[in-house]
Chain A
Amino acid sequence: MSAPSLDAVIVGAGVVGAACAYYATRAGLSVAVVDRGPVAGGTTGAGEGNLLVSDKEPGPELELALLSTRLWRELAAALPPEDAVEYEPKGGLVLAPDETALTALRAFAAGQCAAGVEAREVDEHELAHLEPELTKGLAGGFHYPQDAQVQPARAAAALLRAARSRGALVRLGEEVTAVLTGPHGAVRGVRTPRGELHAPAVVNATGTWGGRLAALAGTRLPVLPRRGFVLVTEPLPPGLIRHKVYAADYIADVASDSAALQSSAVVEGTPAGPVLIGATRERVGFDRTLSTEALRRLAGQATALFPRLADVHAIRTYCGFRPYLPDHLPAIGPDPRVPGLHHACGHEGAGIGLAPATGLLVTAALTGDEPPVGAWPFRPERFDSRGPADDFSDPFDRPDGPPPSPGART
C-alpha cells in the first residue's frame, strides 16, 4: 500500500462519519473515510435534518444535543456558502391538544429548562400568530427556539468535503470486508477489495449497520433498525409552515421500547418548498415495503394539525432505518474490548443533530484530549453487563435478508 500513514480509518460516510472526519482533521489528524456506498447513502440520506432539543428529556443525550446545537450554528457560519447546507434556526413548536397534555408538557419543559433548554409556553392566541395555518382549539404549546434544521445529505457532503480539503482520504463505493487486528487484538486498519488501509484506530460510524462492523472487529454492538416513513408534499410557498411542529405525544413515541408502529407526525416546511411529514417508528428489520398504515397515520396527523394540507398532494414517500440501541443512547467512544476500535453509531433518529458533538467526542478520544461532555453514558460496552439482551435479535438473520446496499433505493 502506498497510502500515507493514517491516524484513523473512519468507516461510514454518513453525517456522523463526515463529522468525525471534519473534527479529526481540524485537530490535525490524518484520516481516511471509507464507505461501501456514496456519501449520505444510508440513514443520513433518508433523514429530515432535525436538530432537536425539544424532544429530549434531561440527561446525557440532551447534553449532547445542546452542544451540537451550538456546533451546528458554528458550522453553518464556517462552511462555505456554496455548500448550501440549508441551516435554518427555525425553532420548534410542541403542541398540547388538551389540558392534560399541556400539564404534562409543562412539567417536561420545566425539567428541560433546568438542564439548559430554552422553552417558553405559548397560548392559543400566540400559536395562531406563530403558525397561522395551525388548527384552532389546541390547549397550548411550547416554543423551543433552539430547534433547527439542516439538509442532511448536503450537510454530510459539506463536512466530508471540508475534511478532504484538510487532507482526509475519502474512499466511496468501497466496502470494508475485514477489520485488521494485531497479535494482541488491537486494531491496525481495515481491508477493502482495493487493499488494506493501516491505522491504529478504526471508527465505526456505520449507523444502522454498526452491529455488523462491530462483528467484523470481533465484538458486539446491538444496533437494530427502527424503520421510519416520511411523506413529502408538493412544493408549497416558503413560510407556510414556519417551525418544526409536532404534538406532545411524539416525545413518548421516541422514548418507547415497543416494536409496534408508533407515529406522531413532525410537520415542517423546507427552503425548497415541499413540506416534510415524518416519521413513523417501528421495528420490522430492513423491510422497505410501503406501509399504507404508516401513510394513513402521518397524513391523518398532519391534516389534523394543518387542515389546509388535506388538499395538498404527497408526491413522494420513502423510508429509512434509524440505528436503534436498546437504551436509546448512541455508542460513542473507544471500545475497551478491542483496543483501537471506536464507535460512533446508534443515534437512532437524532444522528443529524448529534453528529457534530459525536465528532468532537471521537476526536477527543483519538487525540487523548479532555472530552467536551461526559462520554461515560455512551460507552459501547454498556450492553455486556446485561448479558444477551432479550430484545436483541440480529437483524441480519431475519427472513427479509441482508440490508439492501445504501443507495439501491430511495
Chain B
Amino acid sequence: MTPPVDLAVVGAGPAGLAAAVRAAGLGLSVALLDAGERPGGQFHRYPAPGLRAARPEALHHGWRHFARRLRQLETGGVTYLPRHHVWTVARGDGCWLLHAVVGPDETPATVRARAVLLATGAYERQLPFPGWTLPGVVGAGGAQAMLKSGLVLPGRRVVVAGSGPLLLAVAASLAAAGARVPAVVEAADYRAYGRSLPAVLRTPAKLAEGARYGGGLLRRSTRLLTRHAVTAAHGTARVEAVTVTRLDDHWRPVPGTGRRVPCDALAVGHGLVPQLDLAVGLGCATRRTADDTHALVVDADQATTVPGIWAAGESCGIGGADLALTEGEIAADAVARTLHDVPADPRRHAALTRRRTRLRAFADAMAAAHRPGPGWADWLDDATEVCRCEEVTAGRVREAVAGYGAHDTRTVKLLTRAGMGWCQGRMCGQAVARLAGGEGAAAVESRPLSCPVPLRPLAQLPPEAEEFRA
C-alpha cells in the first residue's frame, strides 16, 4: 500500500484550490479531490474547453488570481483528482480514509491522508412558494452555474428573486449574457447594511463590486424591489409569470400588494447553506450563523474541533471567494506547521489573519441583513409542495405537526417522508423546520452518506476485519 499523503483537500473551489497549491508549495504531498469536472468549484465555474471561450473572465471576478492558481495546480505537485465525490471520511489505521465514487461510472476510490482539509463549499438555500416546482423556476446560483459552465440561459425574460448579495451578481450576469431581467426582488432591506456600516466600509472592494452590479443593471432598466418576494409562480408546462408581493418587517406578505410580472424563467435563492455532511459525520462541532444556517467551528488556524481535520471556505460560514482564499492559505500554513514543522512567516500570517477578520465581519453583517424573517411561511398554501423529491405538501407537514405532535424536522420526516428523497432534505430542510414550529435554524442534519453511492462500490470497500472490533 502506498503511504498516505500528508494532506487531502476535499473541494477544489477557491478555498480548497488555494490551500492545495499553498500546501504543495510548502513541501507537503497533497491530494485534491473534487466532485467537479474542472477545478474552481461553484464560484469559478468556467466553460468546458470544447466551448473555446476566449474571454471566460467576462463572467468572473478574480479570474487572474484563479488562472494563476490553475497554472500552479498543473505544475505544483498537487495530485488533482477531479470527478471524485467523497461520500465519507473514516478513521483508518493511523490515517484518514477518504472514500469516493469516481466519474459517471461511480467506481470506488479511497485516498489515505495524514490530515484532511474540508473545503466543501455550500449550496443554495431555498424557501418554497406555490409554483416553485414549475420548470423554468431555477435556483439563482443554479442559473449562474448553468450560464458560467454551459453558456446557456433559462429564458429570455428572467425575474431574479430571493435574498442575499448573490442576487445582484446573478442578475448582472444574466443581463450581460443577453437576458432581460425585469426585476430583482429582494426580501430583505439593504438599509439593514447601514446598521453594520463600519464592517461594510472596511471592505471597499465589495462595495465596488456592488456598484458595478448596480450600474450594469440600471443601464438595462432592471427594477430593484427590496422588501418584496415572489410569492407564487404561475404556468402549466413552465413558468409564465410570477406574483411579486410586498413584505412586512417579518417577511409576511402584505395582503393586496401582489402584482403579476410576466416572465419565462425565475432565478430564486435565499443565500447559501454550508455543506457540512463530511464534517458532521466526523463529529466536528458546528455553530449557528447570523442567517440561521450552521457552519463549522474553527480556531485561528482553521482547525475544526476534531484533531487532524481542518476546514476553510463557505463550510466555516458563508463569506465569499476572497475570504475562502484567505482561509485556505491560513489552513495550509497551519497544516504544514503541524505536520512538517514548517515555521510560520509572522508577517504573512498577520496579514492573512487581519484580512480574514475584516472579511468575516463583512460577511456576518451581510448574513444578519439577509436572515429570513419568520413570516415567510405565510406564503405557503397547504397545496404547496415543500419536499420536491417526495412531493410532500405543506398541508401534510402541518397535519403531522398538529395531528401527531411532530415538532422537529426528524419527526416530520419520519411521519411524512419530507426530506427522505434523493436530495435528503437539502432543499426542504429549512421549510420543514419552520413549519414544524421552529423560529430559526433547523437542527444540524446528519447525512452519513454525503452523496448517493451505488451498492456495488459499497460492497467493494476494503474489508476492515482486523480493525473492526467492538
A contacting B, Cβ–Cβ less than 8 Å: yes
- A308's nearest neighbour on chain B, judged by CB, is B455
Q: What residues of B have a CB within 8 angstroms of the CB of A39 in the complex?
A: 404-406, 411
* Interchain CA distance A231-B449 in the complex, whole Å: 10
Contact B404 A161 (CB under 8 A): yes
Q: What residues of B have a CB within 8 angstroms of the CB of A292 in the complex?
A: 88, 90, 97, 99, 461, 464
- From B443, B449, B461, B468, A261 is in contact (CB under 8 Å) with B468
Which residues A156-178 have CB closer than 8 A to chain B?
A: 157, 160-161, 170, 172-173
> Could you say which of A241-249, A311-319, A334-342 contacts chain B?
A311-319
Which residues A39-74 have CB closer than 8 A to chain B?
A: 39-41, 45
Q: Is B470 an interface residue (CB 8 A)?
A: yes
Q: Evaluate whether A284 and B470 lie within 8 angstroms (CB atoms) in the complex, with A38-B408, A153-B414 already known.
A: yes
- Minimal beta-carbon separation of A405 from chain B (angstroms): 10
Which residues B427-470 have CB closer than 8 A to chain A?
A: 443, 445-449, 452-456, 458-459, 461, 463-465, 467-470
Q: Is A135 an interface residue (CB 8 A)?
A: no
Q: Is B422 an interface residue (CB 8 A)?
A: yes
Contact A311 B454 (CB under 8 A): yes
Q: Is A296 an interface residue (CB 8 A)?
A: yes
Contact B422 A410 (CB under 8 A): no
- From A260, A298, A314, B449 is in contact (CB under 8 Å) with A314
> Could you say which of A123-131, A299-307, A366-374 contacts chain B?
A299-307
* Interchain CA distance A102-B13 in the complex, whole Å: 56
Q: Evaluate whether A291 and B458 lie within 8 angstroms (CB atoms) in the complex, with A38-B405, A234-B422, A407-B408 already known.
A: no
Q: What residues of B have a CB within 8 angstroms of the CB of A231 in the complex?
A: 455, 458
Q: Is B57 an interface residue (CB 8 A)?
A: no
- B461's nearest neighbour on chain A, judged by CB, is A296
- Minimal beta-carbon separation of B329 from chain A (angstroms): 31
* Interchain CA distance A320-B432 in the complex, whole Å: 23
Contact A235 B421 (CB under 8 A): yes
Contact A409 B403 (CB under 8 A): no
- Minimal beta-carbon separation of B100 from chain A (angstroms): 12
Q: What residues of B have a CB within 8 angstroms of the CB of A154 in the complex?
A: 414-415
Q: Is A233 an interface residue (CB 8 A)?
A: yes
Q: What residues of A have a CB within 8 angstroms of the CB of B458 in the complex?
A: 231, 295-296, 298-300, 314
- Minimal beta-carbon separation of B391 from chain A (angstroms): 11
- From B90, B97, B414, B456, A303 is in contact (CB under 8 Å) with B456
Give the total number of A-B pairs whose CB atoms are below 8 A apart.
136
* Interchain CA distance A316-B281 in the complex, whole Å: 13
Q: Evaluate whether A410 and B413 lie within 8 angstroms (CB atoms) in the complex, with A290-B88, A300-B459 already known.
A: yes
- Minimal beta-carbon separation of B384 from chain A (angstroms): 20
- From B88, B390, B414, B459, A40 is in contact (CB under 8 Å) with B414
* Interchain CA distance A386-B262 in the complex, whole Å: 78
Contact B454 A172 (CB under 8 A): no
Interface size on B, residues (CB 8 A): 45
Q: Is B83 an interface residue (CB 8 A)?
A: no
* Interchain CA distance A216-B455 in the complex, whole Å: 44
Q: What residues of A have a CB within 8 angstroms of the CB of B407 in the complex?
A: 38, 172-173
Main secondary structure of the interface of B (DSSP, over half): loop
- A314's nearest neighbour on chain B, judged by CB, is B453
Q: Is A283 an interface residue (CB 8 A)?
A: yes
Which residues A1-60 have CB closer than 8 A to chain B?
A: 38-41, 45
Contact B452 A41 (CB under 8 A): no
- A287's nearest neighbour on chain B, judged by CB, is B470
- Minimal beta-carbon separation of A262 from chain B (angstroms): 10
Main secondary structure of the interface of A (DSSP, over half): mixed
Q: Is A289 an interface residue (CB 8 A)?
A: yes
Contact A289 B283 (CB under 8 A): yes
Q: What residues of B have a CB within 8 angstroms of the CB of A295 in the complex?
A: 458, 461
Which residues B383-410 have CB closer than 8 A to chain A?
A: 390, 403-408, 410
Q: Is B109 an interface residue (CB 8 A)?
A: no
Contact B283 A313 (CB under 8 A): no
Q: Is B144 an interface residue (CB 8 A)?
A: no
- B92's nearest neighbour on chain A, judged by CB, is A292
* Interchain CA distance A172-B453 in the complex, whole Å: 36
Q: What residues of A have a CB within 8 angstroms of the CB of B90 in the complex?
A: 290, 292
Q: What residues of B have a CB within 8 angstroms of the CB of A409 in the complex?
A: 410, 446
- From B281, B411, B443, B463, A290 is in contact (CB under 8 Å) with B281
* Interchain CA distance A160-B424 in the complex, whole Å: 27
- Minimal beta-carbon separation of B470 from chain A (angstroms): 4
Q: Is B420 an interface residue (CB 8 A)?
A: yes
Contact B463 A170 (CB under 8 A): no
Q: Is A272 an interface residue (CB 8 A)?
A: yes
Q: What residues of A have a CB within 8 angstroms of the CB of B452 in the complex?
A: 234, 313-315
Q: Is A408 an interface residue (CB 8 A)?
A: yes
Q: What residues of A have a CB within 8 angstroms of the CB of B448 in the complex?
A: 290, 317-318
Q: What residues of A have a CB within 8 angstroms of the CB of B97 in the complex?
A: 292
Contact A260 B469 (CB under 8 A): yes
- A404's nearest neighbour on chain B, judged by CB, is B446
* Interchain CA distance A154-B333 in the complex, whole Å: 51
- From B414, B424, B455, A233 is in contact (CB under 8 Å) with B455
Q: Is B220 an interface residue (CB 8 A)?
A: no
Q: Is A293 an interface residue (CB 8 A)?
A: yes
Q: Is A310 an interface residue (CB 8 A)?
A: yes
Q: Is A348 an interface residue (CB 8 A)?
A: no
Q: What residues of B have a CB within 8 angstroms of the CB of A315 in the complex?
A: 421-422, 424, 449, 452
Q: Is B60 an interface residue (CB 8 A)?
A: no
Q: Is B349 an interface residue (CB 8 A)?
A: no
Which residues B301-336 have CB closer than 8 A to chain A?
A: none
- B110's nearest neighbour on chain A, judged by CB, is A292
- From A173, A291, A303, B459 is in contact (CB under 8 Å) with A303
- From A234, A282, A310, A407, B411 is in contact (CB under 8 Å) with A407
Q: What residues of B have a CB within 8 angstroms of the CB of A284 in the complex?
A: 470
* Interchain CA distance A316-B452 in the complex, whole Å: 7
Contact B459 A316 (CB under 8 A): no
* Interchain CA distance A93-B283 in the complex, whole Å: 39
- B422's nearest neighbour on chain A, judged by CB, is A315
- From B403, B421, B467, A161 is in contact (CB under 8 Å) with B403
- Most B-side CB within 10 Å, residue of A45, A284, A296, A408: A296
Q: Is A309 an interface residue (CB 8 A)?
A: yes
* Interchain CA distance A38-B403 in the complex, whole Å: 13
- B406's nearest neighbour on chain A, judged by CB, is A38
Q: Residues of B at under 8 Å CB distance from A?
A: 88, 90-91, 97, 99, 281, 283, 390, 403-408, 410-411, 413-415, 417, 420-422, 424, 443, 445-449, 452-456, 458-459, 461, 463-465, 467-470
* New A-B pairs, 7, CB < 8 Å, besides A234-B422, A272-B417, A302-B455: A45-B414, A153-B415, A283-B470, A292-B90, A303-B455, A303-B456, A316-B447
Q: Residues of A at under 8 Å CB distance from B?
A: 38-41, 45, 153-154, 157, 160-161, 170, 172-173, 231-235, 259-261, 272, 274, 282-284, 288-293, 295-296, 298-300, 302-303, 309-318, 407-410
| The 9 nearest A-B residue pairs measured at CB | A299-B458, A153-B414, A313-B452, A300-B459, A299-B459, A296-B461, A38-B411, A310-B456, A409-B446
